[in-house]
């Protein structure tokens, strides 16, 4: 029977050690990784409506990529913001969403013919059990939109597709905003309980959300805006597994290591050592 030579034995042992180290390194990251597009929801006190409140520093921030929205407006594809940071939180009665983004100028005045205010909007499905078209929802699945502008307007809207936006007769959403060091920070606040075609934010399940940002001094208004893809508020019970990308890369890495071990063993058996 052929005996394993010292060189081949060392290579096999090394490969197995590398495999063990890789598994030990990857498993903790899998258990702590968050699903893709998740916005964690923290617990805060009563003053969370203030975007500068100290309690926001304990709430995880998620960076959302932004890109131009499809629109027939001139220069619609030319927008200034390419990302925004979102935090979300609850207390015993209310839900808070804080949106922050870079903007060197605080555009609040809309009195001139070419004056546009900065603005931000947060969009949710009216029916939280189904994901609607991201461009203002659809006829069978409308969206709620919370909208703030730099001239201190706050609107709560219902839409079932582009061009169908209507105001709620009475808004249940309040906002506070601060501009400091070249950044806007805007907090939206609403009671968790909902009535009258409003998204339920009871915490019983995850809730989809997307955002839009307008830079007034960049002539952004209406459909010329920077928008995100759908993300979701992690309000439900889970599951809270790792992103699919992490799983796929982990499996691929382990497969490569296992292939290396098998190849070394095959070479050893093919070459063999004299008995």
Q: Are residues 184 and 220 in the same domain?
A: yes
Q: Are residues 188 and 72 in the same domain?
A: yes
Q: Let me know if residue 99 belongs to a domain.
A: yes
What pTM did the predictor assign? 0.75
Nearest to 187 by CA among 82, 40, 63, 89: 89
Q: What is the pLDDT along the chain (275 residues), one digit of tens a residue?
A: 445 455 455 455 455 544 445 444 444 444 444 568 999 999 887 789 999 999 999 999 999 999 999 877 777 889 999 999 999 999 989 999 999 999 999 999 888 777 899 999 999 999 988 899 999 999 999 999 999 999 999 999 999 998 899 999 999 999 999 999 999 999 999 999 988 899 999 878 899 999 999 999 999 999 999 999 999 999 987 644 444 444 555 556 666 766 766 666 665 666 665 54
Residue 123 corresponds to which tokens in the numbers above? 């969009």
Rg (CA), the chain: 26
Conformational region of residue 121, where left means phi above 0, alpha means psi within -120 to 50, and beta covers everything else: beta
| pLDDT score, position 155 | 97
Q: Let me know if residue 51 belongs to a domain.
A: yes
Q: Is the peptide bond before 274 cis (omega within 30 degrees of 0)?
A: no
Q: Are residues 128 and 146 in the same domain?
A: yes
| pLDDT score, position 251 | 54
Q: Let me know if residue 23 belongs to a domain.
A: yes
Q: Are residues 177 and 219 in the same domain?
A: yes
Q: Hey, is 147 helix, strand or coil? A: strand
Q: Are residues 28 and 113 in the same domain?
A: no
Q: Are residues 145 and 249 in the same domain?
A: no
Q: Are residues 44 and 130 in the same domain?
A: yes
Note down the domain range covering 73: 38-233
Q: Let me know if residue 1 belongs to a domain.
A: no
Q: Are residues 110 and 226 in the same domain?
A: yes
Q: What CATH number is associated with residue 70?
A: 2.60.40.1190
Q: Are residues 261 and 143 in the same domain?
A: no
DSSP string, 68-87: EPP-SSTTTT--S--EEEEE
DSSP string, 151-210: TS-EEEEEESSTT--EE-SS--EEEEEEEETTEEEEEEEEES---SS----SSSS-EEEE
Instruction: Report the C-alpha gap between 48 and 176 in whole angstroms.
Output: 10
CB neighbours of residue 73 within 10 Å: 14
Q: Let me know if residue 221 belongs to a domain.
A: yes
Q: Are residues 212 and 267 in the same domain?
A: no
Q: Are residues 116 and 58 in the same domain?
A: yes
Q: Are residues 218 and 250 in the same domain?
A: no
Inter-residue contact 122 to 98 (CB < 8 Å)? no
| pLDDT score, position 24 | 47
Inter-residue contact 136 to 165 (CB < 8 Å)? yes
Q: Let me know if residue 129 belongs to a domain.
A: yes
CB neighbours of residue 139 within 10 Å: 10
Could you give the number of structural domains in the chain?
2
């Amino acid at each position: 029977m052929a005996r394993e030579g010292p060189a081949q034995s060392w290579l096999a042992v090394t490969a197995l050690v590398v495999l063990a180290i890789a598994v030990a390194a990857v498993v903790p990251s899998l258990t702590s990784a968050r699903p893709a597009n998740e916005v964690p929801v923290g617990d805060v006190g009563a003053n969370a409506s203030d975007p500068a409140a100290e309690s926001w520093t304990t709430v995880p921030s998620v960076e959302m990529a932004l890109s131009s929205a499809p629109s027939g407006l001139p220069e619609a594809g030319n927008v200034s913001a390419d990302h925004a940071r979102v935090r979300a939180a609850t207390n015993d009665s209310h839900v808070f969403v804080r949106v922050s983004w870079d903007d060197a100028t605080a555009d609040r005045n809309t009195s001139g013919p070419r004056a546009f205010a900065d603005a931000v909007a947060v969009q949710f499905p009216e029916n939280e059990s189904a994901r609607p078209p991201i461009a203002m929802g659809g006829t069978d699945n409308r969206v709620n939109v919370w909208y703030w502008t730099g001239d201190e307007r706050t609107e709560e809207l219902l839409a079932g597709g582009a061009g169908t936006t209507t105001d709620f007769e009475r808004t249940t959403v309040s906002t506070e905003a601060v501009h400091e060091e070249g950044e806007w920070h805007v907090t939206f606040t609403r009671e968790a309980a909902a009535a009258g075609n409003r998204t339920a934010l009871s915490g019983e399940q995850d809730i989809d959300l997307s955002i839009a940002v307008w830079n007034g001094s960049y002539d952004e208004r209406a459909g010329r805006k920077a928008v995100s893809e759908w993300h979701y508020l992690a309000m439900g019970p889970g599951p809270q597994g790792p992103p699919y990308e992490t799983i796929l890369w982990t499996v691929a890495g382990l497969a490569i290591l296992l292939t290396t071990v098998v190849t070394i063993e095959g070479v050893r058996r093919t070459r063999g050592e004299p008995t």
